[in-house]
Structure 1
C-alpha cells in the first residue's frame, strides 16, 4: 500500500500564503481558530489527492519546531509545548475522522532536530538525544498518534536517540536523514553508513527510514549500490530545488522547481528503492508536486 503525505508545509505557508513563521515554526498556528483553519485546509488539500489516486495517507503533525529549545526561543514554556503538541494530534485526529474517502490514514507525531536542520551544530551523544527527545515523544504517547517521525536529522547519534526514546514510550518510530549535495549527512557520514550504524545501535528498532530536505540529484548516486540498507528506505520527502542547504538558507524567493520533473525523479527513485511507499515533499514543494509524484508512482487501478 502506497501512502501519500504532505509537502513543504512551512515554505508553502510563508511563500505561497504570506504568513510569518518565526524560526520556521508552524505549531503556533494551533493557538488560534484562524491558524487551525489554515492548517486544516492545507492537509485536506493533500488528502484530496490521496482520495483521487486511491492511496492511504500519512498525516504529519505541524510540530517540527515544537520541542523545548526552539519553543523557548519563541516564548513557550514546557506546559505550552505539551498543550500545543497534543492539540496538533487532536486536529489531525479530527481530520482523520472526517476523511471518509481515504484509508488508511496514519497519524505521526512530527519531530525536528534539536539544532539547525541544515548542519550538525549540536554534538549530542545518543543518550543526550534520547533524553532531549523523550519529552516531546512522551507527549505524543498520550495522544492518538500512531507513530513518531523525526525529520531533517543530521547525525546518527540524534537518530539513535529518537528511536530509543520512542521505543521506551511504546511508539513506532521513523528517522529521516537529510543529505548535502554529495549524498552524505551534513557531518560527512555517507547515507548508507548512517542507516547501517543506526540500525546496529538500535537493533533495527526503527520501523523504516526516510530521506528529506534534499533534491533527488543530491542523494541519487548514494543509492546506486546493491546493498541491503536500500530496503530500509521506505519514504522520501525531497526538495523541489537543487540548491544546497547553504543556498536555501540565504534564499529570499521560493524555488518551486518543476513538479512534473520531480514526479519523474520519484519514479526513478522508486525503481532504485524496492520498498519505497511513502511519497511527499519538503522545501519548495506543495500539493502540485505531490500530485505529480502520485501520477508517476502510483499504479492505476484496473476496474
Structure 2
C-alpha cells in the first residue's frame, strides 16, 4: 500500500492517464465482436493479444511523449464468476485469464518502458453496472469479489481498479476483499445524468459510507462511465471531495439507457472533453488521474494529455 501510494504523483509528472474505452472502440470502430462486453477472451488468440498489446503500447508511448504517467487497466472487467459463467468459462479459466492479463501488461511495461507505469487489475460489478437487479450486502460482495482477487497476489499487479460501481455496499465488499489479500485498491463509481449513482445515492454519501466501513483503506476514489456535464455540479468543496483523485469520462452526453440502445458510437468532441476535464482539475487540483471511458479512443487520450501537459 505504501509503495503504491508513493507512486502518485511522482517527481516526473503530476498527471496519470487511464484508458478503459477499449471495448467500445473495438466493437464500433474495429468491428470486433465482444459477447457479454468481455474483452478478456481476446487473450486466447494471437490476433486478440496483438490487439490488446497495441492499446498498451499506445498508452505508454503517449505517456512518454506528453510527460505523463500511465495506469494500464487489464481487460478483466467482467472476468468474474457470474459473468464469466454466462460466456462458458469456469473459475479455472478465469484464473488463467486474469493472470495472463497482468503478465501481458508487465511485459508491455518492460518492453515499451520509461513512462511511469502502473499495472491495474480491472474489476467490475457482479451485476449490470447501470441497473443492478439486486444489491449485495458488504459481506456477500466481499466473498464474491475475493475469488477474482485471489488470482492476483502471485502476479506483479500494483493495484486493484474497481470500475463502474453502482452502490456503496458492493464497493465496501471489494475494499474489504482487497484488504484481505493485502492489495491496494481504487474505487470508481459511475453516476447518472443527475450526478447520483444509479441506485440514487449521492457521490459524497457513497464515498463517506465506504470509508467509514473500511477505515479509509481505499487508496482513493474515482468517477467513470459518465460525461463531465453529468457530474460537474455534484463536485463540491467538501472533505469527501479530497478523496476523489481521478475521472475517466465518457465521450457522450447520453444517459446509460440511451447508450445501451445506441446502434452507432457517439464519440463526442475529443477537444471539448479534454477542456471539460481540464476545468474540473483546475477546480480540484487533488485530481491527478484522467482518462477516457465509453466512446473514447486514442484521439481523446491525446487531447486529454495535451490539455494537461505541464507548463
The CA RMSD measured in Å over matched residues stands at: 0.9
**Residue deviations 1:124-172 (CA, integer Å, cap 9, x gap):** 0000000000011111122110110100000000000000000110100
Please give the per-residue CA displacement for 1:188-221, whole angstroms capped at 9, x wherever unaligned. Answer: 0011111111111111110000000000000011
Between 1:64-73 and 1:268-277, the stretch displaced more is 268-277
What corresponds to 2:51 in structure 1?
Answer: 38
Structure 1 residue 34, shift from structure 2 partner: 1.1
Indicate the residue corresponding to 1:138 in structure 2: 150
Q: Which has the larger displacement, 214-223 or 46-55?
A: 46-55
The aligned residue for residue 222 of structure 2 is 210
* SS of residue paired to 1:106: strand
* Match in the other structure for 2:254: 243
* Equivalent residue number for residue 158 of structure 1: 170
Q: Is residue 83 of structure 1 aligned with residue 92 of structure 2?
A: no
Q: SS where residue 255 of structure 1 aligns?
A: coil
Measure the CA separation in 1 of the matches of 2:54 and 2:175. 31
2:159 to 131, 143, 147: 147
Asked whether the equivalents of residues 60 and 113 of structure 2 are also in contact (C-alpha less than 8 Å), the reply is: no
| Residue 15 of structure 2: aligned partner | 2
TM-score normalised to structure 1 length: 0.97
After superposition, give the CA deviation of every residue in 1:271-292 in whole Å (9 maximum; x if it has no partner): 2223111111100001111111
Partner of 2:9: none
Give 1:120 shift.
2.7
- Cα contact 2:145–2:173 (8 A) shared by 1: yes
2-structure distance, mates of 1:180, 1:117:
11
Q: Which residue of 2 aligns with 1:108?
A: 120
Residue 274 (structure 1) aligned with residue 285 (structure 2)? yes
Q: Extract unaligned runs of 5+ from structure 1.
A: none
Q: Paired residues, what number?
A: 298
Which of 289, 295, 301 in structure 2 is aligned with 1:290? 301
Check if 1:13 corresponds to 2:26: yes
Please give the alpha-carbon distance, in whole angstroms, between the structure 1 residues aligned to 2:76 and 2:20.
Answer: 14
Q: Say whether 1:123 aligns with 2:135.
A: yes
Q: CA deviation at 1:19?
A: 0.2
Kept in 1: contact 2:70–2:117 (CA 8 A): yes
Deviating beyond 3 angstroms after TM superposition, the runs of 4 or more aligned structure 1 residues are none
Q: CA deviation at 1:269?
A: 1.1
Structure 2 unaligned segments of length 5 or more: list them. Answer: 1-13
Equivalent residue, structure 1, for 2:73: 60
